[in-house]
Chains A and B, each alone.
Chain A
């Protein structure tokens, strides 16, 4: 029975509710069959491996052929760019992450994210104001999708007049991460490749401009700011910008969409949030536990034979760390399948942990908090039109493709 469990998790039929499968997976804490990956699903095991220096994020340390990884197709997209820090180990990872952090967060830019709050709120308000037909809203297309792309544009310093072009590239790339079975794959690959190339050339041009005339945006600072770690090459800036765009976009879309879906399934929580916007803080943390936007980390490998619960995982093996399963581990969380923002203890794995913990976490938190509290406040009597909604194909970056909802009107 467990033989098929990985296939079932990947199988689109289970996308709307993979949690029973994760529960089954937890029965075999170190799951492995044939030449597939070693799959870890218990909270403490995952937490521990995320801090284990014998685990590498660098694909070059993998022994198993990429084809053996059932998620290989969606995990990796061929690009001409050097690997971003997500796929590197220290010291390269640390150096690039530090340099990327310089214009983004403390200690060098401690107020950047905090000071974006007003702008985030304006973007949210604008998107909600733009909803014209309250009888049928697709929350994904009309809200969750455009919001984070706009935020990344502002963060990187993409001129307003170019935002529309940027959105269309981002949409195309996002779609390529989520292939519809049966579609013309060659054609899709070509479209996606073109979008990547155009985006890359656009960004390269922008970097060139900013090198000459730097502003206070991240792209300017990434391309010009020096420090003890030196200056990024153009290729490194491009690779980093691509990472911010893709990693920061998809995940935030899912966090917000999963969030609204969960709130609509828990009307009492939604009502509390409507009355008290500060309640968004624990709501978002519980969401990151309950419906994490990145369900599993499929890219780690072992640098040595390591033992977990008496099972030896050989050097060079592929690891899957199923964050979403760990987040519902009853050994860690009481009543884990209940959505309960009041549980005092929400030390989730939603952003991972250790040196690769989500770079954009503070921004994602603020975006989700603002988005959900404003949606709760402004949508009058909102309800789901489809439950479950149609999901995207992607099993890793899991979330609804559309979230059709209706409401009685939009409050000012």
Chain B
């Protein structure tokens, strides 16, 4: 799974680093480092982190169908 954190939104609440410490690491009081790609076995922790982010800054791969898109949602 690929992920990206919109660090413009991030305010350093560190919820992700508490809940998924193998994926998100605080670097100092406020800076966040994260693994841009994580293994499937971290999915549950990652889901907790995504949901807990107070500013909803974590974007994870959507589970999109790989074929024929182009239609609106």
Which residues from chain A sit less than 8 Å from chain B, CB to CB? 98, 105-107, 110-111, 113-114, 278, 281-282, 285, 345-347, 351, 353, 357, 361-362, 365-366, 369
Contact = CB atoms under 8 A, between A and B. Distances in A.
A107 B51 contact: no
B54 A110 contact: no
Nearest to A341: B51
A365 B21 contact: no
Contacts, number: 60
A105 B25 CA distance: 11
A110 B48 contact: no
A281 B47 contact: yes
Q: Per DSSP, are chain B's interface residues mostly helix, strand or loop, or mixed? A: mixed
A365 B50 CA distance: 13
Given A106-B14, A107-B28, A347 B55 contact: yes
Contacts of B41: none
B44 to A, nearest CB: 6
Contacts of B55: 347
A351 B26 CA distance: 20
Contacts of A362: 14-15, 18-19, 52
Q: Chain B CB within 10 Å — which of A98, A114, A282, A369 has the most?
A: A114
Nearest to B28: A107
A106 B19 contact: no
15 contacts: A98-B29, A106-B17, A106-B21, A106-B26, A110-B18, A110-B25, A113-B19, A114-B20, A281-B48, A281-B51, A347-B56, A353-B54, A357-B54, A365-B19, A365-B48
A105 B18 contact: yes
Contacts of B17: 105-107, 110
A129 B35 CA distance: 40
B18 to A, nearest CB: 4
Contacts of B19: 113-114, 362, 365-366
A98 B13 CA distance: 12
Given A105-B14, A361-B15, A110 B26 contact: yes
A49 to B, nearest CB: 16
Given A107-B27, A353-B54, A113 B47 contact: no
Nearest to B14: A106
